[in-house]
Amino acid sequence: MKTVVDLGCGTGALAAWFALRHPTARVIATDRSAAAVRSARATMPANGLADRVEVAHDDAGSELPPGEADIVLLNPPFHLGTSVHTGAATRLFEAAARLLRPGGELYAVWNSSLRYRPQLERSGAPPSSCIAPRSSR
């Protein structure tokens, strides 16, 4: 069984999407925001996933052991309040590198205007990671 971690899960949409498509996966969704955790916890039963997705109040997967994940899902936040701030993305990329097992995969998506690729490459995440910047049109 694959273990999948959604770092900075927000509403839990990525975790729910993955769990719905991969019913045998163990899915863990984490966020440091209590409001995000409440939202993700509401998302799971609304999608019939209350018993299949664990939602944890945890900053950057700090409570999870290294090498825990086969896959990390990440749509890094880029706001701190109302200002654009990329520090959270750097921390989450580093957390992904720590959490992934050898041969693990990172699926990351972000607005292309944020230019996260160099940060991701410095983080130690696997070079085979799937990177999908969104157009910021």
Which stretches does DSSP call E strand in 33-98? 53-57, 69-74, 79-80, 83-84
Go through the chain and tell me how many residues it has: 137
Q: Tell me what the mean pLDDT of segment 113-133 comes to.
A: 57
Q: Which residue has the tokens 């070079």?
A: 127
Write down the pTM of the prediction: 0.81
**Dist. CA 92–CA 94, nearest whole Å:** 5
Q: Which amino acid makes up residue 60?
A: A
| Domain CATH for 115 | 3.40.50.150
Residue 18: pLDDT over 70 = yes
Number of domains in the chain: 1
Q: Give the model's confidence band at 76: pLDDT under 50 very low, under 70 low, under 90 confident, else very high.
A: confident
Query: How far is the CA of 15 from the CAs of 21, 22, 49, 53, 106, in angstroms?
Result: 10, 10, 10, 7, 13
Domain range enclosing 121 = 3-134
